[in-house]
Amino acid sequence: MFKILTTLIFLGALSPSVFAADLTVSYQIKEGKKKGERTVYWSDKFNLTKDSLSKVDTLYDYDAGMMYTIDHREKKIETFNFKDMGGMMGDAQQMMGEMMGRKAPRGDKTIGQSMEESTAKYFGDPGKVVLQKLGTLTVAGRSCDNYKVERKGGKIETSQEVCVDPTLSPPQNPNAEVAQMHQAAEAMSGTLGNLQSPAERELANLKGTPLRRINNSKTKGMMFGGGNIQMEEEATLVQVGPIDPAVFRLPSGYKQIDQAQMMRDQMQEMQKMMGETGK
């Protein structure tokens, strides 16, 4: 559920346009010592992300109303239809809202208030985080606006640097179920919104397409020891124009697994746990 949610929030932040042309962006990615490539394809009928590091691709077929998670290592395809996804995300948002309003196991505060305090303790005061505009860069031959957010003062210090081309808007299929998914993702994000700073939310909602991204986290004095983690992503090629339909074809010979029932079972288990803890 979390993987699906974060993917949808990320796609929603790209501000696609119904009238935009097909768009392909290839990125060089680096996660620690690992290096690879990620390519994202947008058309008015499909959205495909191919990831050479994880060997897991994600395909949205807007006309069919389906999402496919393609695992090349295990040669399997997990399927999910938009209608089920939107409905389940709405249910999850309702459960999350109820959970946040409940009394925490210790003290007089709610679970939501306790989570806000813990987030501030480990990541610093969200009210002190500021969105900085660092200027402009040229990435893959295109000009982009470079922004940065740093969160300090806690046991984990983080920074996010994103360079966005505001002139690049991926196309969007005007599918009502797609709109429902985005609304559910935004509602869920709002429920958890107090765990983010206003600056971090502003960074996530910048208009355009990210061409460069650098995420850093530094831990100190924690039980699992200190250290730095850095993830980098930089566009190497941007193409605006028609995409060969063959790009969006599912691989043959892979086992297909319907994720809808699995997600329903997980949500029922969550509801059961919440019912028990609420007694």
Residue boundaries of the structural domains of the chain: 2-277
pLDDT at site 74:
96
pLDDT in tens, 189-206: 554 555 567 787 788 888
Q: What is the DSSP letter of 45?
A: S
Which pLDDT does position 198 carry in this prediction? Answer: 77
Residues 6 or more apart in contact with residue 125 via CB below 8 angstroms: 153
* H or E segment and range at residue 110: none
> In the prediction, which pLDDT does 221 show?
62
Residues sharing a CB contact under 8 Å with residue 106, sequence separation 6 or more, in sequence order: none
Residue 188 tokens, joined:
């869920």
Which tokens hold the place of 113? 């208030």
Which pLDDT score is estimated for 270?
63
CA distance 194 to 123: 13
pLDDT at residue number 4: 45
- Tell me, what's the pLDDT at 141? 96
* pLDDT for residue 108: 78
pLDDT score recorded for residue 252? 95
Look up residue 120 and give its two tokens.
Answer: 């501030």
DSSP state of 116: H
Helix (H) or strand (E) holding 71: strand 66-71
Q: What's the sign of the alpha-carbon dihedral 247, 249, 250, 253?
A: negative
**Cα gap 33→169, rounded to integer Å:** 32
Tell me what percent of the residues of the chain surpass a pLDDT of 70.
63
- Taking the C-alpha atoms of residue 187 and residue 194, their distance in angstroms, rounded to an integer, is 13
What CATH number should be reported for the domain whose range is 2-277? 2.50.20.10
- The reported pTM is 0.74
Instruction: Copy the structure tokens of residue 81.
Output: 């239809």
Q: Which residue positions in the chain have pLDDT lower than 50?
A: 1-19, 191, 224
